[in-house]
A and B are shown apart, each in its own frame.
Chain A
Amino acid sequence: MKGNSHESFSDKLFRTLAAFGAAILLLVMAALFVELVSNSWLSIKKFGFGFIFSNVWDPVKEEFGAAASIWGTLVSTVIAMLIAVPVGILIAFFLVELIPEKFAKWIGTGIELLAAVPSIIYGMWGLFVFAPFMANTVQPFLQSVFGETELFSGPPLGIGMLTAGIILAFMILPFIASVVRDVFKMVPAVVKESAHGMGSTLWEVTSKVTVRYGMQGIIGAALLGLGRAIGETMAVTFVIGNSHRISTSLFSPANSITATLANEFAEASEPLYLSSLIELGLILFLLTFVIQIVSQLWLRQVKKKMGRQ
């Protein structure tokens, strides 16, 4: 007798339906990729690889290059990571080591709620509240401390690369903090106690034992944050300033892939213009795809290792 021969018709139907549900996940991904490639084909054919490196963005002359948008995406993401990773680790240190569990739960929930705030709200707050704060307080302060360096040159407008990066940092902070907290909690007490026994201070135990022990998990958390930051749209669109010029100053208005898409997609009537925008989307998709794959493989590796111990 075959294994499934007693399966009734309704059971077969149900199993097929369920398999169809799972297949949808694969089909959506496949269709998404095919649509992005086929719709950006016009631009791929016209500009080739030069698209990635060209800094021209001229809808009138129909000359398009992605360099400024890619640059903005990368720089704002790097700023966000530089802030959110250390601050996230500090928050995890605070929650796990410095305060009683009772309070840690509440404060942890508060931090995690930052992730629940919709990104357009970050945009509103960023544009109307945080950008003026940057322009009036933070940017003049940075200029007075560091002088007229390249990085902080130009008028303090409030909007621009730096503001976008900082707001991105706020948005990914809860993801990083909560994963790092879980990683810290997984470190066996014996390992920490042996360091305490040697006379180490609390911070020495954390930085030299806990962080090293959980390094792989922390890198996983950083990858998670990176994946989120790079594709974030609305918050960045509100504050980055929408300028296709590449500038060395972090105070200058800039653009990211997502901001260019959000601002220009609806008004792109020429086929080549639209196709170039979709190619921008394809580049972003490939970037996040690679980050996702690396982080998934990484986390799988970590889980395997943790499982063995």
Chain B
Amino acid sequence: MKKRSALPRKIFDKIAALLAYLAAFAGLFILGWILYTVAARGFASFNLAFFTELPNPPGIEGGGLANAILGTIILTLLATLIGTPLGMLAGIYLSEYGKNSKFAEWARFFSNILMGTPSIIIGIFVYTFLVVPFGNFSAYAGAVALAVMMLPVVARTTEDMLQMVPSAMREAALALGTPRWKTTLQIVFRAAKSGLITGVLLAVARISGETAPLLFTALNSPYWISSLSEPTPNLTVTIFNYAMSPYEDWQQMAWGASFLISAGVLFVTLTTRFLLKEKK
């Protein structure tokens, strides 16, 4: 029998390894490229006015995005206020009551579907559901769109975190005569506290950089927010509008807003990862 040479196979093995190194390097390189660009270009537009003033019309020096920064914070907070309690209730039901019932299975199934639904579709849904009937774009509509995106994330992480609490704790509390709701909220929740906070942070990280759900709900505005039922200035839609404009000073502003949003989202994401690692 003719002996097969091992050389071509070894060379091929080296080539595959080289390609794998290149692939990993390329992934990191893209990340670095994006972050470097955003940081370098964004930092250039930071000054006191950027954080304290209203935007100027194109061509006029100065101005800032203080209204959009405030608007994004308000939208995120409002969405968290709506999405967290509802999501947690759903999570409590799935973990403590529904378990393997048909209803719970369906709720899990659809929460996964909702998680995979494109954010722009949620924007359209809220537009037809809240913007058209009330006749105006509003912070409420924007916050509801973001809250819909939070719901499945909070529900599933809440379920996972509650599942990790040993049932002996529930049984001990129930045996002492503690009502079920008190057991859940004061014993199980307390044991799962850090995990629950992580879950909410995860959801906040997911929504705070979102643009598409806000396009047709919160819209945008060059003014300060005076009420929650008006078009609401926010950073991400501002980036979209300014970047697509032909004015260089607006595009520069968009870079500043990009840096702010990226830094915020990455900070929350890294915090979440750190907390999750602590838990393990």
Contacts and interface: CB of A to CB of B under 8 A. Distances in A.
Genuine A/B complex:
yes
Interface of A: 7-8, 10-11, 13-15, 17-26, 28-29, 31-32, 35-36, 39, 87, 90-91, 93-95, 98, 107, 109-111, 113-114, 116-125, 127-129, 170, 173-174, 177, 199, 201-204, 206-207, 227-228, 230-234, 237-238, 258, 261-262, 265-266, 278, 281, 284-285, 288-289, 291-293, 296
B32 to A, nearest CB: 9
A114 B269 CA distance: 11
Contact of A98 (B21, B113, B244): B21
A98 B89 contact: no
Contact of B128 (A35, A91, A118, A293): A35
B69 interface: no
B93 A19 contact: yes
Contacts, number: 255
B151 A11 contact: no
B121 interface: yes
Contacts of B41: 128
B216 A125 contact: no
Contact of B265 (A11, A110, A118, A128): A118
B37 to A, nearest CB: 5
A258 B26 contact: no
B13 A204 contact: yes
Which residue among B9, B31, B41, B122 has the maximum number of chain A CB atoms within 10 Å of its CB? B31
A233 B243 contact: no
A292 B24 CA distance: 28
B10 interface: yes
Interface stretch (B48-56, B58-66, B178-186): B178-186
B27 A110 contact: yes
Contacts of B216: 265-266
Given A21-B86, A25-B151, A93-B20, A32 B125 contact: yes
A14 B118 contact: no
Contacts of A31: 125, 129
B75 interface: no
B113 A20 contact: no
Contacts of B117: 32, 231, 285, 288-289, 292
Contacts of B255: 124
Contacts of B103: 19, 22
Q: Is the interface of B mostly helix, strand, loop or mixed?
A: helix
A136 B273 CA distance: 38
A5 to B, nearest CB: 14
Interface in B4-38: 6, 9-10, 12-13, 16-17, 19-24, 26-28, 30-31, 33-35, 37-38
B179 A118 contact: no
Interface of B: 6, 9-10, 12-13, 16-17, 19-24, 26-28, 30-31, 33-35, 37-38, 41, 85-94, 96-98, 103-104, 106-107, 109-114, 116-122, 124-125, 127-129, 148, 151-152, 155, 179-181, 184, 205, 209-212, 215-216, 219, 236, 239-240, 243-244, 251, 254-255, 258, 261-262, 265-266, 269, 273
Contacts of A204: 9, 13
B134 to A, nearest CB: 15
Contacts of B119: 231, 233
Contacts of B33: 125, 129
B124 to A, nearest CB: 5
Contacts of B113: 29, 289, 292-293, 296
Contacts of B266: 113, 116-117
A23 B98 CA distance: 11
B151 A28 contact: yes
Given A117-B35, A204-B9, A207-B16, 5 more contacts: A22-B107, A94-B21, A129-B37, A201-B10, A262-B240
Given A125-B37, A233-B118, A23 B215 contact: no
A121 B258 contact: yes
B110 A233 contact: no
B181 to A, nearest CB: 3
B236 A120 contact: yes
13 contacts: A7-B180, A10-B181, A21-B93, A22-B94, A22-B155, A94-B24, A116-B266, A121-B261, A128-B37, A177-B27, A207-B16, A284-B120, A292-B116
A111 B181 contact: no
Contacts of A21: 85-93, 155
A120 B237 CA distance: 9
